[in-house]
Chain A
Amino acid sequence: MTDYAIVLTRRYAGNQWTLNGDDYTGLTWLSDTPKPTKTKLDSLWSEVQQEIADEKTSKAAQRQAILDKLGLTADEAAALFG
């Protein structure tokens, strides 16, 4: 199911809207720009999901690189920083 709030946040930044519930029918467009269609938002969902997954992978890689630089394992870092 498309997370319309996430798609709108990432692909329609700067626009104002409210979303009552999870469905497209609850979307009220407050900006003067054209309201995106359900079809359009649904079509963007898979690439937004991939983008989020890529960001998580990238963050995990950055985290591991820092641990490697410090010579610590993830468990040792957790014990150190709580």
Chain B
Amino acid sequence: MGANAQTSVPTFTAGEVLTAANMNISARTGIPVFADSTARDAAFGGTGEKTLAEGQFAYLESTNATQYYDGSTWQPVASSGTKIGQVVSTNLATTFSTTSTSYTDITGLSVTITPTLASSKVLVLVNLSVSADTNVALNVRQMRDSTAINVGTAAGSRTQSSGFLQNPGGVFAYPIAWNFLDSPNTTSATVYKVQIVVNSSTGYVNRTQQDEDAATRPRLASNITVMEVLV
């Protein structure tokens, strides 16, 4: 039995003298509210503070999450198995074009998520509509902050990429999609974004290479969604 485990749920009667022990039972059984995990961790075990032990609950304002301590780590409430936590999504319905021959951000195609637990995974879902001038090699990649993820292993001069297009010619827009289960191992705000690069000429997002004002030419949308997977 943990140090904070109760052996009874007392009822006090009128006129009864409340002892410190009585107060400790009654005053410490509510769910304490903390600004974030740092404040939570600093609140236990000090002089005059409660000892952190199995069964302790906490509510974090930073992530609106209720957690319990299992004796070694904080766990999300009601996670007897894997479940989806926060979901953050951005839809880009405007165009983006570039001639950059080094990876550059696709403006507006990024999301920020703050994992509740360091053990959480983040499921990243991306859908892109891209086009390029004839024979241009267009690559896109998934970024977590400044780190490329979901890209192939380095192999010589080949471009490490999450998606690729080489337009054989004509008026085309191509879908590129991926999903990737990331393990960011952090409770800090984390940015997931998509970058693009071309080897020459121009690459396009959400439009075709030839973009005449005609019903035969589309305007498209791309999006990125991230889901915290509590495990």
Contact = CB atoms under 8 A, between A and B. Distances in A.
B100 A20 contact: no
Q: For the complex, would chain A's binding face be called helix, strand, loop or mixed by DSSP majority?
A: mixed
A77 interface: no
B211 A20 contact: no
A26 B99 CA distance: 14
A20 B94 contact: yes
Contacts, number: 47
Q: For the complex, would chain B's binding face be called helix, strand, loop or mixed by DSSP majority?
A: loop
B228 interface: no
Range class of the B interface residue count: 10 to 19
Contacts of A16: 98-101
Contact of B98 (A1, A17, A21, A52): A17
Contacts of B99: 8-9, 15-17, 30
A19 B96 CA distance: 6
Contact of A18 (B94, B96, B201, B211): B96
A80 interface: no
B136 to A, nearest CB: 10
A18 B100 contact: yes
Contact of A21 (B94, B100, B104, B201): B94
B95 A22 contact: yes
Given A5-B202, A5-B204, A20-B107, A30 B100 contact: yes
Given A9-B201, A9-B202, A21 B95 contact: yes
Interface string B190-231: 000000000001101000001101000000000000000000
A18 B97 contact: yes
Interface in B3-55: none
Contacts of B94: 20-22
A3 B100 contact: no
Given A19-B96, A21-B95, A30-B100, 8 more contacts: A9-B133, A9-B202, A16-B100, A17-B100, A18-B96, A19-B95, A20-B107, A21-B96
26 contacts: A1-B213, A3-B211, A5-B97, A5-B202, A5-B204, A6-B211, A8-B99, A8-B202, A9-B133, A13-B201, A16-B98, A16-B101, A17-B98, A17-B99, A18-B97, A18-B100, A18-B104, A19-B96, A19-B97, A20-B94, A20-B107, A21-B94, A21-B95, A21-B96, A30-B100, A52-B210
